[in-house]
Amino acid sequence: MSLKKRLLYFAIGLSIGLVFVKIIFDKKDVSFDYFPNDRVLKTLRTKQRNFDDKALIFFREHTIDTSLIEEFLTSSDVNFKKSQQRKKPCSFYQIEAKHQNDLLAIQVKNCDTLVTIQNAFKINEK
C-alpha cells in the first residue's frame, strides 16, 4: 500500500474519531485547561470573590456590572509579565480583556480560599 493511501486512511480514521470524541465530551462538563492562561482563569473562577472599593468605583463609573467579571474570567488573557505568580502568601495577576471597544485590565489577588479584585482600569492603546 502506498504512503498516500496510508495517510488518507489515517486522516479518515482520525477525523471520525475526533467527531466521536467531540460528541461524547460535549455532553459532559469537561474542560481541557492545559495552558497556563486557562489554568489561572479556572482557578480564579472556582474561588469565592471579593471586590475592593477601588474596583467597585471603577465599575460604577463605567457602568460595568460585577457579573461581567465571570465573563472576564472565562474569555480573557492573563498578562504574566505584569503578574507575580510566585508571590507569597497570595499571588497577583493582571487580567486583560476587551469590553465595548476598550481594553480593560483587572488586578486580582489570589489567596488560598479567596480571590480579591483589587483594581480595574482602562489600558491606553497606542
Please determine, for residue 32, whether its predicted confidence score (pLDDT) is greater than 80: no
Residues with Cβ < 8 Å from 110, sequence gap 6 or more?
40, 43, 44, 47, 90, 91, 92, 93
Question: Which DSSP state fits 66?
Answer: T
Q: What is the pTM of this model?
A: 0.70
Please determine, for residue 28, whether its predicted confidence score (pLDDT) is greater than 80: no
Check: CB of residue 109 under 8 Å from CB of residue 115: yes
Task: Name the residue with higher pLDDT: 30 or 42.
Answer: 42
